[in-house]
Amino acid sequence: MLDILHVSPEVVPYSKTGGLADVLNALPRAQSRLGHRVSVVTPLYDAVDLARHRVVFAGHSFPVTLGGRTLDFEVAQADMGDGVTCRFLRNDELFGRPRLYGDGDADYGDNHLRFAFFCAAVFRMMRALRLRPDVVHGHDWQAGLVPAYNRLHLLDLVPTVLTVHNLAYQGQFPAHVLPEIGLPWEVFNPDGIEFYGKVNLLKAGLVWADRVTTVSPTYAAEVLRPEFGAGLEGVLRARGNEFVGILNGADYGIWDPRHDPRIAAPFEPEDLSGKAICRAALLDEMGLGSVQGPVFGVVGRLAAQKGFDLLAQAIPVIVAQGGVVVVLGTGDAAIEQAVLAAAAVHPGQVAVRIAYDDGLAHRIEAGSDFFLMPSRYEPCGLNQIYSMRYGTLPIVHAVGGLEDTVIDLDEHPDAGTGLKFRAFEVAAFLGTLERAFALHREGPRHLAAVRRAMAADFGWDVSARAYLELYQGIVARGGHPSGHQD
């Protein structure tokens, strides 16, 4: 049995800006179900509902000093289920703010301090509570200093893993912050934390973690190339076989139409009558009425990375052929305005909700015929996996986790679970939409694909076992850290 501590800036159900938070709810619980002792540590943000989540303060407070500045942290905890404990580190000066990372489009100017203190406080908490994990597993740039402090300050107290959920977000700051985050100028070089004259907190994790992972095998291969590597491709190539891609999973306890309380009717592959009810209910909820053409669903961050600039150009084509489009999300103002303008021009065939609405996200998955994910790049993606379970065939750009999870119907007619386009161009996307309309008209072929998609299994157990194998390899090579003295 391993003792595993996950370090994450966000965790469902307590805090969320993206899919990272979903992963940090599902992966620890899957590992715990496999017989391991698992806990998570995260900041206690102002948005965490203490009463609803039964957050209990443990009566522990301890000082953390970085760069000559000392801050006190309190420890609280809650039960995540499946035997997993979530511990919160509370400092209201750093984390008692309206948002997790910034207001509007602007990041908080002291994010380097906020997450440097958080990472340092993780180790101080371990000492204060006498926690001795076999592995500390950090997630994204906000945890990038965990491996750095472990290697540089604590002389390899514990084996560390860093998972990159999206390489585009790196935590870059001016060089002068280095003393503030408690690191010596000796590490400000191309082999250390320096990145084109700046401090890069994600790079710190990539350099000093014992192992580095990302969230799909194809994305792991892509980021070794300049077009996807965001300037860090050389750092990742240097890690060799110490950098791997492990596909994210789906939490079918939450995302399964057989027992989803958020949708109009349950359904399963053998009886899809409930899906027809969900489709009608979605159209009614969004003010679209009854239509014969296919329903194309969109849920996600309305950003260029997600390829939604292609979507804005494709909407008139979908409408002209009798399809309808339902969009839910928030993001770049220009893309929001483009899809809102399309809804204004086509009020009976395009409906847009600029919001975060978890219930509606489930209803779009259940009530749509196709799900659109034309991402420029996609480290893993979860919505395409959810869509398949709900019998909503994904239409995706064949990159990253989209390539790894969706089987194209034309390439593999007897195994296909969705449709792919390979060139990131409007023409290629529109050609795939033409294939979707044709498939929708072919009832039996469409039905067979829906049933195959619903049977695809991307549950967390496979991914959890892969991470456990990775941990065990590190512990076996590096020894158990329990000999460390407080």
At 305-320, the pLDDT tens digits run 899 889 888 999 999 9
Q: Which whole number is the average pLDDT over 276-294?
A: 94
* 215, 341: one domain: no
Instruction: Tell which phi-psi region holds residue 431, choosing left (phi > 0), alpha (psi between -120 and 50) or beta.
Output: alpha
58-62, 363-367, 440-444, 448-452, range with the lowest pLDDT: 58-62
DSSP assignment of 354-395, as one string? -S--HHHHHHHHHH-SEEEE--S--SS-SHHHHHHHTT-EEE
By the 8 A CB rule, do 87 and 39 touch? yes
On the question of pLDDT at 483 being above 60, the answer is no
* 214, 94: one domain: yes
Classify residue 261: in a domain, yes or no: no
Classify residue 295: in a domain, yes or no: yes
Predicted pLDDT at 116: 98
The strand order across the sheet containing 211-214 reads 56-66, 69-81, 84-90, 37-43, 3-7, 135-139, 160-164, 211-214, 243-245
Which helix H or strand E contains 70, and what residues bound it?
A: strand 69-81
Q: Give the CATH number for residue 116.
A: 3.40.50.2000
- Written as six digits, the tokens of 24 are 């940090």
* 358, 373: one domain: yes
Classify residue 262: in a domain, yes or no: no
DSSP assigned state of 422: -
* 108, 166: one domain: yes
* 354, 405: one domain: yes
On the question of pLDDT at 457 being above 50, the answer is yes
On the question of pLDDT at 155 being above 70, the answer is yes
On the question of pLDDT at 482 being above 50, the answer is no
Residue with tokens 């986790």: 401
How would you class 445 by CB atoms within 10 Å of its CB: exposed for 0-12, middle for 13-18, buried for 19 or more?
A: middle
By the 8 A CB rule, do 297 and 364 touch? yes
Residue with tokens 């965001």: 230
Q: Can you say whether the dihedral through the CA atoms of 300, 303, 305, 311 is positive or negative? A: positive
Query: What is the rounded distance in angstroms from the CA atom of residue 216 to the CA atom of residue 378?
Result: 9
pLDDT confidence band for 484 (50 / 70 / 90): very low
* 391, 450: one domain: yes
Query: What is the rounded distance in angstroms from the CA atom of residue 209 to the CA atom of residue 140?
Result: 12
On the question of pLDDT at 485 being above 90, the answer is no
Predicted pLDDT at 478: 66
Predicted pLDDT at 301: 85
On the question of pLDDT at 239 being above 60, the answer is yes
Q: Can you say whether the dihedral through the CA atoms of 231, 169, 63, 483 is positive or negative? A: negative
Q: At what angle do helices 308-320 and 333-345 cross, to 10 degrees?
A: 10
**Percent of the chain that is helix, strand, coil (3-state, to 5):** 40, 20, 35
Predicted pLDDT at 480: 39
* 426, 475: one domain: no
* 194, 337: one domain: no
On the question of pLDDT at 88 being above 90, the answer is yes
How would you class 156 by CB atoms within 10 Å of its CB: exposed for 0-12, middle for 13-18, buried for 19 or more?
A: middle
On the question of pLDDT at 260 being above 60, the answer is yes
Classify residue 147: in a domain, yes or no: yes
Name the average pLDDT for the chain. Answer: 94
Predicted pLDDT at 150: 97
* 171, 288: one domain: no
Alpha helices in 1-110 (DSSP H): 19-33, 92-95
On the question of pLDDT at 105 being above 80, the answer is no
Domain count, the chain: 2
Predicted pLDDT at 481: 42
Residue spans of beta strands (DSSP E) within 281-424: 295-299, 324-328, 350-353, 370-373, 393-397, 419-421
* 421, 473: one domain: no
* Percent of the residues in the chain that have a pLDDT greater than 70, as a whole number: 98
- Written as six digits, the tokens of 430 are 């529109």
3-state SS, residue 174: strand
Q: Which whole number is the average pLDDT over 409-418?
A: 97
Q: Which whole number is the average pLDDT over 36-56?
A: 96
Report pLDDT digits (tens) over 113-134: 999 999 999 999 999 999 999 9
* 466, 328: one domain: no
Classify residue 165: in a domain, yes or no: yes
The boundaries of the domain holding residue 356 are: 273-457
Classify residue 254: in a domain, yes or no: no
Classify residue 255: in a domain, yes or no: no
Classify residue 263: in a domain, yes or no: no
Query: What is the rounded distance in angstroms from the CA atom of residue 91 to the CA atom of residue 18?
Result: 23
Q: Write down how long the chain is.
A: 486
How would you class 295 by CB atoms within 10 Å of its CB: exposed for 0-12, middle for 13-18, buried for 19 or more?
A: buried
Q: Which of 52, 41, 116 is nearest to 86 (CA)?
A: 41
* 142, 219: one domain: yes
Which helix H or strand E contains 206, and what residues bound it?
A: helix 201-208
Predicted pLDDT at 479: 46
